[in-house]
A = this chain, B = another copy of it.
């Protein structure tokens, strides 16, 4: 078990050392990023660490011109709008462009006695940031480009898949023992559109990383309709958000896939007896199936009490003992 966004703003020890400035600055500081990654390991005793980084780190590193604005999310100076913008997405050279990420991983691997999970943004979700320019509820421009300019769309997806592949390969080469591909906003698409416009590039990423031999987790929010396709894309583990039970999710993916999830993070501020009931419901819905990584259905929110997360870990570990 681990928690998506287990490192970060919900932890007082994070707020104490994080300082001002962009998350990009913190990620570019290996000592700081190492410490931030380790904080939840010390506090919670979760079973895996997840690299403190961001899904837009590679595009930022090659100079696309984006920042992560606190409380907003990734914001792009000049959104991706035409084939002229493809040249702004040159290939990533991880050792030269993101040496700080690899140094952080080196530090962590030396320090940790649990697995480190590396990650990347899936091409669709990163494309949505580049095209919309900021987080969107409708993905209006993204969907329009996808359907009105499919050649441009697939060229963009190709470049973003290459970025994800190269970034993930470097993370694994430096010691990440599993990877998660975040297609956070894929749930805004119908299954038919996902299959046609998104699945092929995510499948290429997952296939390439499969060659390294590490387990691949494939996650998105509101993806109930897409779970089968997300498994088919090449995942070993499919993330499930809180909208459907693990028992129901298991009917939608092949029997050899594991599931990850799916406690609703929106409930973490409730009194413990409420959270405990919800944790138990997740475990019961899994029904003792060995292919289950306990996690939230989406990331920890900044106002989640760390004390509650501590108890969640205890509860899950006690159940499995």
Interface residues of A (CB under 8 A from B): 138-141, 143-144, 147-148, 187-192, 222, 224-225, 242-245, 248, 264-267, 269-271, 274, 277-278, 281, 301, 303
CA A303 to CA B138, docked complex, whole Å: 12
Select A190's contact among B138, B189, B225, B245, beta carbons within 8 Å: B245
Not counting A138-B265, A140-B301, A143-B270, a sample of 15 additional A-B residue pairs whose C-beta atoms are within 8 angstroms of each other reads: A138-B266, A140-B303, A143-B266, A144-B274, A148-B274, A187-B243, A188-B266, A189-B243, A190-B243, A191-B244, A222-B243, A224-B224, A224-B225, A225-B243, A225-B244
CA A147 to CA B275, docked complex, whole Å: 9
The DSSP consensus for interface residues of chain A is: helix
Nearest chain B CB to A132 CB, angstrom units: 11
CA A281 to CA B190, docked complex, whole Å: 12
Nearest chain B CB to A83 CB, angstrom units: 17
Contact between B147 and A270 (Cβ–Cβ < 8 Å)? yes
Q: Which residue of the partner chain B has the closest CB to A223? A: B243
Select A147's contact among B222, B245, B267, B303, beta carbons within 8 Å: B267
Q: Which residues of B contact A245 (CB under 8 A)?
A: 190-192
